[in-house]
Amino acid sequence: MDTAHPPHRSFADARSLAPVVREVFGTDRRITAVDRLRGGTRKGVYRVALDDGTSAVVYLWSADEDYWSGLLPDGHDDPAHPFSHASGLDPLEAATRRLAAVGARAPRLLFTDRTGRLHPADLAVAEDVRGGTLESLLERDPAAGRRALAELAAVLRRMHAHRAPAFGRVAWLDAGGAPTGGSCERAYRDRALVNLATAVAHDPRAADAESELAGKLHVLYAGVEPRAQLGVVHGELGPEHVLIGPAGEPVLIDVEGLLYADPEIEHCWTGMRFGPHYEALRDPALDPRRLAFYRYAMHLDLVGGPLRIAAGDFPDRQWMLDVADHHLRRALAYRA
């Protein structure tokens, strides 16, 4: 696997984004500030402030903006694969459409371009949702945060109640792509084994416990019974991935990885990320065996994935290593 990276990262600025602003907003508006928003590892996300007091968000997809470039396992670029690299304009557009169709919302797309005419990258311009994240709202105004959590719970129920055509990426299946034919749980088991192999190669604790860790995964997988009904799942939904819209409504971001999958996947992730606030999102109808299996598989994923990106030039390498350490400890201590 090629792990080469560009010798430096070349990020966007007011000069490089000026043609985009002219195309979308006309020639009578000027850029007053460009801020690269934190958190993205697959694309560049920029808030562009204009001289009339408005702003927009620009997404850019290029090798310079993708910290996973050269670090992904085989098959990451196959759009039919349910865990293909969830990045790009096509997945964003498809996810935005599907969320709207099921009664959820992502930032509205104002403009898209694949030609390279305005910028040497695929790009999208979206509304700038300025209500902050649900994470920050819960800290500064708990009462408003609880109301937003209740709305988010209703949004998730609508997403999960959708009758999905098959397991897989929303972008692929909605475009008419053929499903892989595999089950959701088997795909997550196989991905967990790949990430376990990464952990074994990078951490002696994982290497020493490889058979134990794999054994737990197989036992939990064996306890999951077949299921045909799947819903729409964000897959990595934390309070930092929910913005607060103008009417206080939840707006989902980082949606390119939208899946047709088991709702238990969503709840395992939100259970980890929302902490004590998760109770407002809990769904008592979920399958406890699936929850146990996916929860453990996610611990393994969150060892292998961060170790893989920490091998590159991600700017906060220690943070990734800390994530991997935390989840390896959880996997080693896991009891279903």
180 pLDDT band (50/70/90 cuts)?
confident
Token reading at 185: 């749980």
Q: Answer yes or no: do 176 and 256 share one domain.
A: yes
Domain presence at residue 161: yes
Tell me what pLDDT residue 310 has. Answer: 86
pLDDT at 10 > cutoff 70: no
Domain presence at residue 232: yes
Please tell me the least confidently modeled range out of 39-43, 64-68, 137-141, 202-206: 64-68
> Which CATH number do you get for residue 291?
3.90.1200.10
Domain presence at residue 160: yes
**Residue finishing a domain among 76, 110, 127:** 127
Q: Answer yes or no: do 146 and 118 share one domain.
A: no
pLDDT at 3 > cutoff 50: no
% of the chain surpassing 70 pLDDT:
91
Query: What separation, in Å, do the N-terminal and C-terminal C-alpha atoms of the chain show?
Result: 35
Q: Answer yes or no: do 180 and 43 share one domain.
A: no
Q: Which domain holds residue 89?
A: 14-127
Tell me what pLDDT residue 4 has. Answer: 36
Q: Answer yes or no: do 194 and 45 share one domain.
A: no
38 pLDDT band (50/70/90 cuts)?
confident
The predicted model scores a pTM of 0.89
Tell me what pLDDT residue 70 has. Answer: 57
Q: Answer yes or no: do 293 and 202 share one domain.
A: yes
C-beta separation of 133 from 277 below 8 A: no
Distance of CA 17 to the CA centre of its chain: 25
Q: How do beta strands 109-113 and 55-61 pair?
A: unpaired
Domain presence at residue 58: yes
318 pLDDT band (50/70/90 cuts)?
very high
% of the chain surpassing 90 pLDDT:
80
**Residue finishing a domain among 127, 162, 184:** 127
1 pLDDT band (50/70/90 cuts)?
very low
C-beta separation of 222 from 236 below 8 A: no
Domain presence at residue 9: no
Q: In this predicted model, which residue has the larger pLDDT, 11 or 153?
A: 153
Average pLDDT of the residues of the chain: 91
Token reading at 49: 């402030």
**Residue finishing a domain among 127, 155, 183:** 127
> Which CATH number do you get for residue 35?
3.30.200.20
pLDDT tens, position by position, 86-145: 678 999 999 999 999 999 999 999 999 999 999 988 999 999 999 999 999 999 999 999
Dihedral-angle region of residue 331 (phi above 0 means left; psi in -120 to 50 means alpha; beta otherwise): alpha
Residues 274-295 have a mean pLDDT of: 97
Q: How do beta strands 55-61 and 44-50 pair?
A: antiparallel
What is the SS3 string spanning the chain? CCCCCCCCCCCCCHHHHHHHHHHHHCCCCCEEEEEECCCCCCCEEEEEEECCCCEEEEEEECHHHCCCCCCCCCCCCCCCCCCCCCCCHHHHHHHHHHHHHCCCCCCCEEEEECCCCCCCCEEEEEECCCCCEHHHHHHHCHHHHHHHHHHHHHHHHHHHHCCCCCCEEHHHHHCCCCCCCCCHHHHHHHHHHHHHHHHHHHCHHHHHCHHHHHHHHHHHHHCCCCCCCCEEECCCCCHHHEEECCCCCEEECCCCCCEEECHHHHHHHHHHHHHHHHHHCCCCCCCHHHHHHHHHHHHHHHHHHHHHHHCCCCCCHHHHHHHHHHHHHHHHHCCC
Distance of CA 158 to the CA centre of its chain: 19
Domain presence at residue 273: yes
Q: Answer yes or no: do 104 and 198 share one domain.
A: no
Q: Which residues are paired to 50 by β-bridges?
A: 31
How many structural domains does the chain have? 2
Scored b (16 or more CB within 10 A) or e, 271-295 reads bbbbeebeeebeeeebeebbbbbbb
Domain presence at residue 107: yes
Q: Answer yes or no: do 48 and 121 share one domain.
A: yes
Q: Measured between alpha carbons, how far is residue 160 from residues 72, 86, 129, 197 in Å? A: 29, 20, 24, 31
Dihedral-angle region of residue 132 (phi above 0 means left; psi in -120 to 50 means alpha; beta otherwise): left
pLDDT at 149 > cutoff 70: yes
